[in-house]
Structure 1
Amino acid sequence: MKDNLLSWWNGLAYREQQLVAVCSVFLIIGVFYWGIWSPISNAEQDAQMQLVQSQKTLSYVKQSANKIIAAKQAGKASTSKGSLGSMVNTAASRYGIVISRMQPQGNKIQIWTDDVPFNDLLAYLNELVQTNGLSLDTFDVTETDVPGLVKVRRIQLSQ
């Protein structure tokens, strides 16, 4: 291999040897730059951007966690205003929702209703979760023949 390369080199004219040498230098510089330097530099920039994004995400998660903790503490304070059943019934009457069946189970309660406007149901659940500090564990509804109305198969809330 070395002999073949050396014989090829000796077969070239002096100007051709100079041209091949200069092109070889540019080729080596190009391979170094695009094969080694540029990928490392791009990887470093990508890692720095990913670090900044991760720090922003961590900050957001910490802020959200603090808000959740504050909301849970506020919810615990407001849940002491009455029993779970009375909170559910009071909020239902405010939204005109008729509960067909209610089954308390310790710190949980399951409710069923017949046809109820979906938007009213969402506002009702929002009040129970946001204002009263309850957790929505299960939400199972089916559509009815009337647009906008749903039948609640089962909703389970817990303190």
Structure 2
Amino acid sequence: MNKLLASWQVWWLRITPREQRLVMVGAVALIIGVLFWGIYQPMAQRAELAQNQLRNEKQLLSWVENKADEIAALRASGAKALSPLPFNQAVSSSARRFNIELVRVQPRGEAMQVWVQPLPFNQLLSWLEYLQQNHGVEAQFLDLDKNDRVGVVDIQRLQLSKG
């Protein structure tokens, strides 16, 4: 290490004062460049990305809260009209009608656990509203996650029951 330092000192003393100033200015510019492009700019980009994600999450939360209020209002407003179809047939036929792909249907006592492919949230609401108004079927549990596509939800858990 001492040899390296000594060789740098010898080199520094051999160059002219003008070259020394040029090397110092270049070193300062290099340090500023490394600090800016190596530290500040990546941090600023990450902060902007985090702010965008937060804004998107807040918009999604607001949208879901509005839709939850809409669902609650729909539940409270309508009387149940019972159809003559059996529970499982009402669910499967209405799913076909609304172009909803049922992955799996499993009876759970008086209820039914349903697994569905990802679908637009409005389509899900329309289907659930139809089930409630025409077949007296209600969602007991509904657990949703957002999907990568806008307006599309992944249904983690959907449990339906009749009347």
Amino acid at match of 1:46: L
What is the rounded CA distance, in whole Å, between the counterparts of 1:131 and 1:23 in structure 2? Answer: 76
| Structure label with greater radius of gyration | 1
What is the distance in 1 between the residues matched to 2:139 and 2:34? 60
**2:97 paired residue among 122, 139, 147:** 122
TM-score by length of 1: 0.54
- For residues 29 and 2 of structure 1, the distance between their equivalents in structure 2, rounded to whole angstroms, comes to 24
Deviations 1:17-73 (CA, angstroms, capped at 9, x unpaired): 222111111111111111122122222222222221111111011111111112222
Partner of 2:6: 3
Aligned to 1:69: 72
The AA in structure 2 aligned to 1:88 is S
Q: Cα RMSD over matched residues?
A: 3.4
- For residues 3-29 of structure 1, give each alpha carbon's deviation from its aligned partner in whole angstroms, at most 9, with x where no partner exists: 222122223233322221111111111
In 1, the alpha carbon distance for the partners of 2:63 and 2:57 equals 10
Distance 1:48 1:110, change over 3 A: closer
Structure 2 CA distance for aligned equivalents of residues 48 and 128 of structure 1: 39
TM-score normalised by length of structure 2: 0.53
**Is there any run of 5+ residues in structure 1 with no aligned partner, and where?**
82-86, 90-98, 103-108, 113-117, 138-155
Map 1:20-35 to 2 at 5 A: 20-35=23-38
Could you tell me which runs of 5 or more consecutive residues in structure 2 were left unpaired when the two chains were aligned: 99-125, 141-159
Equivalent of 2:133 in 126, 131, 145: 131
Please list the CA deviations of residues 99-126 of structure 1 after superposition, one character each: whole Å capped at 9, or x if unmatched.
Answer: 7xx4xxxxxx3339xxxxx89x617x95
User: Aligned partner of 1:131: which letter?
Assistant: Q
Instruction: Provide the C-alpha distance between the structure 2 equivalents of 1:32 and 1:40, rounded to a whole number of angstroms.
Output: 11
Q: Distance in 2 between matches of 1:29 and 1:11?
A: 27
Q: Give SS of 1:111's match.
A: helix
Percent of aligned pairs sharing the same letter? 29
Select the residue among 17, 21, 32 that pairs with 2:20: 17
**Which residue of the partner structure matches residue 60 of structure 1?**
63
Paired position in structure 2 for 1:111: 89
Three-state SS of the structure 2 residue aligned to 1:110 is: helix
Supply the distance in 2 between the matched residues of 1:135 and 1:88 (Cα, whole angstroms). Answer: 14
